[in-house]
Each structure stands twice: as C-alpha cells, then as structure tokens.
Structure 1
Amino acid sequence: MRVGLLTGGGDVPGLNAAIRAVVKRGEGDHGHSIIGFRNGWKGVVDGDVMPLTRQHIRNVLATGGTLLGTARYHPHADDGGMDAVLATLEAERIEALICIGGDGTLKAASRIAEAGVRIVGIPKTIDNDVWGTDRSIGFDTAVTIATEAIDRIHTTAESHNRVMVVEVMGRSAGWIAVTSGIAGGAELVLAPEAPFDITRVEKFLKHRHRAHASFSIVVVAEGAVPAEGTAMHYETQVGQFGEIVAGAIGERLKGEIERRTGFDTRVTVLGHTQRGGTPTAADRILASRFGVAAIDAINAGRSDVMTAIRGERIELVELQEVAGKVQHVPDDLLMVAGALA
C-alpha cells in the first residue's frame, strides 16, 4: 500500500519522531511504501512529494521541527483546494493518508475523509488544545522550555525587585501558562479560560509586595483577556492570518501593572522558543506511540479517526468528533494555579 504522510500547521518538537515511527513500522512490519508531502496540505495540492524510507529517518528522533516542512494552509478554505488534493492523491496512487497536525489540519483531514479518502490523524500542538486526547505532540517540550524560562526570570526579578510578566503561547486554552506557571512558581497565572480583573491583580501585587516579597512573576497566555465590566478594556490583537500578535497582551499588562502599582515591571515574550529545539523524552515517546498506532490503524482499514492518549492508553477517536472543539484547562487545574499564588 502507498501511504501518504504530511505535517501541517505550526512546527513542534516531536514531529520527526512521529514520522520515523510511521516509516519504521509501516515499511518494516507492514511492507507499505510511505510517501511524504512537503509543506503540509499545500504540498498535497502542489504534488510536492518525496519518498520516505529508513535512510531518510536516520538520526531524526532527537531533531526538532519537521523534515517534511509545514505550512498553515487548509484546502477546504481555498477555491479548488479540495479538488487539487484528490487529483494529487489519485496521480500518486495514494491509498491512505496520515495527517499530523492541530485543529486546522485535522479539520481539513476530516473533510478529505468525507470525500472517500482513507485518513488517520495524529494530534500535535504545543497549546494542547486538540479535543479528544489528554496530550498532543509538542506540549511537554513547550512546558519544559517555559518552566526553565520562568526559573531563570525569578533570579532577575528578585535581584531587581521587579514584577516580571512572562507571555507564553495559548490562543484559546491556557495549558502552557497554567502548567508552567505551577511548575515555575509564578505568583499569578492568567489564562483564556478565566478572564481576569486587573483591579484584583493590582490589589494582589500591592499586598504581596507590602507583606512579604519585593518581586512577582505573572505568567499570561497570549489569549488571556480581562473580564467584561472590569476596569481594563482590551481586544485581542490579531495579525494578517488571524494569529495573535506576540507580545500584545504582555505589553498591555506590563503598562497597566506599572501604572497602577508603581512597581518596576518588565515583560518577556517566549514566542517561538517554545516551539523549537530538541523534544523531551515524553514527546519522543508520545510521538512514537502515535506514529505506530496511526500506521497500524491504516493497516487495519480504519479511516476518519485520530490517535489519542487517554490516561496511559492509546485509543482512536472519530475525527468528526474532534473538529471545531477545544480542550480547555479543567477547573481543578486552574484552581491549583490560583491556590499556589
């Protein structure tokens, strides 16, 4: 069987581990030919292909990024995109397709599956907001990087008696902010799931600095917003393609805190550092398990499903159930972040 493979959306550490697992299991144990598409769905539309054999995956396990390249392109949102995908798959004699991506990539995969193509998805996103799976590829590495950054920022904050605002990624869900904030000992964590009151932030910081500390760490997700009816008005800043402008909420929060409290305040935007570099052991293992499960599902004739981890078990969930949903940080984890302030 000729099985296509692509990585779409933003890159994350662990993608190459998943590619490696698909190739090793698919070629070695099932006898399939794995055909890679460069640059995500755009590569499928353009017919930009490359063979993937054991030779191509040597020494990639610990390498960040994706050897296939990636792009933020969704064929179902582009005139003629769906037809072009189907034409390429027919021309390349692709009998099944494995798509590694976040919500946008997987939504496109579900649309292609509806057209009769056998498809299995693998979830990846540092935001960990893909519904149906406890964890996605890339999340553990991003949290590890963010936690290390917060640890380092603590020493500067304490040395200079500053409030340090650390902005992390998280458009619709605050998984990175909450988990790294807890792990890094942040005093305040602001996440999209719980709109904040800037007056309460001001009072908390003033009380803390009067009572027992001369510095504070505030971790904020890029998608965090103030609650309606509170003293701070802010609209999320987005770029040309709908992406949140990095640093927008961090800088605004810095200005508000400094103006309201008089405390010297600085902002650090971690940005794309959260996506880059060597994947953690946890991400390598998760990606490898997902890769094996995906090619096994293809071999068993499954379609329109996504690999997922629930507890410690790898399961398959229907792609149609995943599309358009967001996995938010649960209330009990938000409570822990607040309780440890």
Structure 2
Amino acid sequence: MKKLAVLTSGGDSPGMNACIRAVVRSSIYYGIEVIGVKRGYEGLIHKDFEVMDASSVGDIVHKGGTILKTARSKAFMTEEGRNQAIKHLKEEGIEGLIVIGGDGSFKGAAKLSEAGIATIGIPGTIDNDLAYTDYTIGFDTAVNTVLDSISKIRDTSTSHEKATIIEVMGRHCGDIAMYAGVAGGAEAIIIPEKPFSLPSIIEKMEHGRKRGKQHHIIILAEGSSKAEDLRQQLVDATGEDARISVLGFIQRGGDPSAFDRVLASRLGLKAVELLKEGEGKLALGVRQNQLVFEDIHEALSKEKSYDPELDRLAEILSI
C-alpha cells in the first residue's frame, strides 16, 4: 500500500476529525501517502483531493464537525457518477479508501468494493443505528449534549411546574432518546422501535404530582411522533399544556467526548493497518470494547434493535 484516501460522508458527527487525524498520522507512520477527499463522494466525482501531512491534522482532535467537509451525493448513486469516482481514484494511484459515515455512506463504500477498490467503512453517526457495532463515533457526545439540555430545561420546567416534551434525533433508532432519557431521569421515553401508551404516560405524570413532583420530562425520538401531535394529545386528555423543545442540529455539534475521541482514534489506526495488510470490503466497529470488523455487506444486512434491558431500567426508575 503506497497511497490511500479518506473521506467523510453523510451527516457530520463529533469525533470525525479525531478519526481523520488518526488515519493521516497512522498512514504517515507506516510510510503511506494519504489523500483527503473533500465533501464526501462528491469530492471523488469532482476530484476534490488534497495531499495531507501531519500538520494538516494538527489541533483538530478536540473539534466537532469534519475538516474534510461532508455532503450527500445524488450523482454518486448513479452508475455514471460512481464510474467517474473510480476513474479519479485510479488516476491518482489511490489503492485504498477509508469512508467515515453512516448507513448511506457504507452503501457507497460497498459499491466501490464491488468495483475492486479496497474500502474500509468506519461508523461515524450520532444515531448509533448500525447494528453490527455497539457504538458509532459521535453517539456518546450527542447523548451528553442532550443530557446537558435536559438539565437546563428541567430548571425552567420546575419553575413553571410544566411538562416538557424534548424532541431528539433518531428517525429509525431511539438510542439517543433512550440513553439520554435514562441518564437524565425522564418520566417517559418514546422511541420508534416500540409503540407508546399515552395513558401510561399520563398515569406517571399524575403519580408524580401526587408525590409533589413539579416537572415532567418526556423524551421523544423524532421518528416516533411529532412533538406537536403529542402535546395536543396530552392537552386533549388532561387539559394541561406542555412545552416543546426541539433540540435539532445542536446534537451534531460541539467538542467530542473523550470516549468518542478514543474510539475514533482506535478505528482510524485499525483501518489503515487493515488496508496495509491487503484487506478491504470491511466495516469496522466495536463490541464489548474490542475492535471488530466484518464484510461490509454483512454489516449492512443486520437489523438494529433496541436494548430491552435498558428499556426495562427506564420503566422501573420512572415510577
């Protein structure tokens, strides 16, 4: 392996920069030239390449976002776009590619693998929605961002003796809602993986009032229901209004946590070493704190499910 490339694709997540840094410096350590591809798969199509050195990734380990920028590429979804990307990789003598991103980014990496490009996928998405790995880069930071918001919102919710619906990201996966809800002491956690019971939520709120509770925090993953719809249902059923706080893209930003920086660095180094050893067509991840890798198609075929034990914990502690 003489030359490899790295790109970030899809939604950004805290820790992507730490991973880029690890890829670049590990490559240099092993005497491999490394190319940064700007704006994901769009950068492959338009040959937006940059030779990177140790200084290119200086002072970025603590920064959120991605210095390589990111974009969603409709052109890459076409055979013509992919052929253009492959042509540019071959013209530059790039023998391996590291893709940092989520489900859609991995699908693109799988297509390149089928075309003979040695490709390694590193999971970078705050949703934690890839089933083959316990954690994805950015998830821990996003949960802590939500947790900080819960603490602040609880202060004003208590002062006004109001219920608050906090909508978090998670279109298909409720991990952010579940982890932040348990850690933040939410009365109810609503996730897309399971139906929710409005009477059960109301019962908990009434039970809380009877023991003097002055606020009620409901965490809602965006893929479960619309916050406004839930608010109206509560008004219709109880006559009491609830405040809504939609956290939005604040969950993607901010300095990555120590956990995400270390995870990103471990995965970046491992990806370079796998390419150096002639491997490709793989997805990297972590299970029980051990790095793992498997065929990228197999990784994508696995279905994500929520943790019933965490769900049970949330139910018991929210009485």
What's the TM-score, normalizing by structure 1? Answer: 0.90
1:329 deviates by 1.8
1:45 deviates by 1.0
Provide the C-alpha distance between the structure 2 equivalents of 1:34 and 1:75, rounded to a whole number of angstroms.
25
**Which residue identity does 2:315 align to in structure 1?**
G
Gap regions ≥5 residues in structure 1: 226-248
Which residue is 1:213 aligned to? 213
Provide the C-alpha distance between the structure 2 equivalents of 1:326 and 1:340, rounded to a whole number of angstroms.
28
1:207 deviates by 3.6
Provide the C-alpha distance between the structure 2 equivalents of 1:2 and 1:74, rounded to a whole number of angstroms.
27
Provide Cα deviations, 1:190-235, integer angstroms capped at 9, x if missing partner.
011111122332333234324432320000100114xxxxxxxxxx
Provide Cα deviations, 1:130-167, integer angstroms capped at 9, x if missing partner.
12111000000000000111111111111111000000
Q: Counterpart of 2:157 in 1: which secondary structure?
A: helix
Q: Counterpart of 2:50 in 1: which secondary structure?
A: strand
Q: Which shows bigger deviation, 79-88 or 150-159?
A: 79-88
Provide Cα deviations, 1:75-134, integer angstroms capped at 9, x if missing partner.
552351221111111122111100001000001101110111101110011110112111
Q: Counterpart of 1:9 in 2: which secondary structure?
A: coil
1:250 deviates by 1.4
Provide the C-alpha distance between the structure 1 equivalents of 2:236 and 2:208, rounded to a whole number of angstroms.
17
Which residue is 1:5 aligned to? 6
Q: Is the 8 A contact 2:187 2:204 kept in 1?
A: no
CA RMSD of aligned residues (A): 1.4
Which residue is 1:327 aligned to? 304
Q: Is the 8 A contact 2:9 2:99 kept in 1?
A: yes
Provide the C-alpha distance between the structure 2 equivalents of 1:101 and 1:131, rounded to a whole number of angstroms.
14
Which residue is 2:163 aligned to? 163
Q: Counterpart of 1:133 in 2: which secondary structure?
A: coil
Q: Counterpart of 1:108 in 2: which secondary structure?
A: helix
Superposition pairs for residues 141-180 of structure 1, below 5 Å? Answer: 141-180=141-180
Q: Which shows bigger deviation, 329-338 or 282-291?
A: 329-338
Q: Counterpart of 2:256 in 1: which secondary structure?
A: coil
Alignment partner of 1:305 out of 272, 276, 282? 282
Provide the C-alpha distance between the structure 2 equivalents of 1:326 and 1:339, rounded to a whole number of angstroms.
27
Q: Is the 8 A contact 1:174 1:328 kept in 2?
A: no
Provide Cα deviations, 1:262-306, integer angstroms capped at 9, x if missing partner.
223101111111100100111000000000000010101111111
Which of structure 1's runs of 4+ aligned residues deviate more than 3 A?
none
Which residue is 2:272 aligned to? 295
**Which residue identity does 2:17 align to in structure 1?**
N
Provide the C-alpha distance between the structure 1 equivalents of 2:84 and 2:306, rounded to a whole number of angstroms.
37
1:21 deviates by 0.4
Superposition pairs for residues 179-328 of structure 1, below 5 Å? Answer: 179-225=179-225, 249-328=226-305
Aligned residues: 317
Superposition pairs for residues 51-90 of structure 1, below 5 Å? Answer: 51-73=51-73, 77-90=77-90
Provide the C-alpha distance between the structure 2 equivalents of 1:263 and 1:295, rounded to a whole number of angstroms.
56
Provide the C-alpha distance between the structure 1 equivalents of 2:112 and 2:218, rounded to a whole number of angstroms.
42
Superposition pairs for residues 10-21 of structure 1, below 5 Å? Answer: 10-21=11-22
Provide the C-alpha distance between the structure 2 equivalents of 1:182 and 1:52, rounded to a whole number of angstroms.
42
Q: Counterpart of 2:240 in 1: which secondary structure?
A: coil
Q: Counterpart of 2:63 in 1: which secondary structure?
A: coil
**Which residue identity does 1:52 align to in structure 2?**
M
**Identity across the alignment (%):** 38
Q: Is the 8 A contact 2:42 2:76 kept in 1?
A: no
Q: Is the 8 A contact 2:44 2:89 kept in 1?
A: yes
Provide the C-alpha distance between the structure 1 equivalents of 2:135 and 2:62, rounded to a whole number of angstroms.
19
Q: Is the 8 A contact 1:121 1:306 kept in 2?
A: yes
Which residue is 1:132 aligned to? 132
**Which residue identity does 2:26 align to in structure 1?**
R
| Distance change in 2, residues 1:275/1:152 (3 Å) | same
